[in-house]
Amino acid sequence: MQQLVKLYEQNRPLIEKFILSTLTRLNFEETSLATYKKLHETFPSLELMYECDKDLVQISANLGEDFEEIEHIGRKRDYLIEEKELSRRYFISDPYISSATGNLCITVIYKHNDGYLFLDFSLRSLLERFHMIEANTRFRKLSRFAYFLIGGGLLLFGFFVAIYGLVSFVVYLFSEVKMDLEVFFKPVIALTLGLAVFDLGKTIYEQEVLPRTQNISDGFNPKSLITFMASIMIALLIEALLIVFKISINDYHDLPYAAVLIIAIALLLFVFGRFVQMKQAKEENLNG
């Protein structure tokens, strides 16, 4: 949603010029469904139309593509425009969530007869018309379905890996297997990996499948990557510690292999720490 507003603000002069220049070429006398259909042919992004008197009291029904709502007649609409703007021939509001449609929209307030004509435009549809965002709804639905399968699979896999870690530890406790460090470390590794995979699946589900993502992605979210990488590195550190203990107990000749693993993890930690540092510096610059 934030990205939609950002794209609109970047291209606001172009979009406003298109809407206003087109409106001035259209001739219509009355506010009716026929007028709405005529405007909708020119503006497919038009969601709602109604008329107010000079005091900004609604005097016509809400007119849409397949509805006409008369219960809104008599409502005051002065919250959409400041008094100092009433002298202008037209006014275009900032983006907001429409109470009638629930979509992100802008309202064009246009002087008409002795009052004002209110036209609500879907912001997403406007941006699609100017090819500023992807308008292929079939592809978007296919992508959401793919993310649904992948994210759901990761959620299930992470859940079952965590359950496996817990069950295996309980089985070890009630079996005759000799208790050693590996018995304790393996369930911890399974739980950590399960947490990492589950969190990755949850992030995919939240960003790409849930209804709020029908608008547009807000861009790359480093939080999910940081959480996933932290879980993976914790699992690797635990595994390296387990290997060092096993080698120190059994055979010191294999210790260089454990050292190589620890060096690789240390390098990964250094890169990860540098990434987090750069992210924090960027956020401080934006906030400053």
Q: What is the pLDDT of residue 149?
A: 92
The tokens describing 190, both together, are: 């399974």
Torsion of CA 107, 112, 115, 121, to 10 degrees: -10
DSSP 103: S
**Given a cut of 60, is residue 218 above it in pLDDT?**
no
H-only helix segments in the chain:
2-10, 12-25, 33-42, 123-129, 137-173, 181-208, 222-250, 255-287
Distances 271 to 192, 207, 233, 236 between C-alpha atoms, Å: 21, 26, 12, 15
This prediction's pTM:
0.50
At residue 217 the predicted structure's pLDDT band, cuts being 50, 70 and 90, is very low
- DSSP-assigned states of every residue in 27-43: ---S-SHHHHHHHHHH-
Per-residue pLDDT tens for 192-213? 788 878 888 887 887 777 754 3
Return the pLDDT at 215: 41
pLDDT tier, 156 (very low <50, low <70, confident <90, very high otherwise):
very high
At 179, is the pLDDT very low, low, confident or very high (cuts 50, 70, 90)? low
Which of 90, 85, 83, 95 lies closest to 109 in space, CA to CA? 90
Higher pLDDT, 87 or 18: 18
pLDDT for 59-87, tens place per residue?
888 888 777 888 888 888 887 777 677 77
pLDDT cut 90: percent of the chain above it:
1
Distance of CA 112 to the CA centre of its chain: 38
Strand-pairing partners, residue 90, are 110
Is residue 251 exposed (0-12), middle (13-18) or buried (19+ Cβ within 10 Å)?
Answer: exposed
Residues 105 and 47: beta-carbon distance below 8 Å: yes
119: which strand partners?
A: 49, 108
Q: Are 73 and 60 in contact (CB under 8 A)?
A: yes
Would you state the structure tokens that stand for residue 43, as one six-digit string?
């503006």
- Structure token pair of residue 280: 């924090």
Output the pLDDT for position 213.
Answer: 38
Q: Which residue has the tokens 């004509």?
A: 117
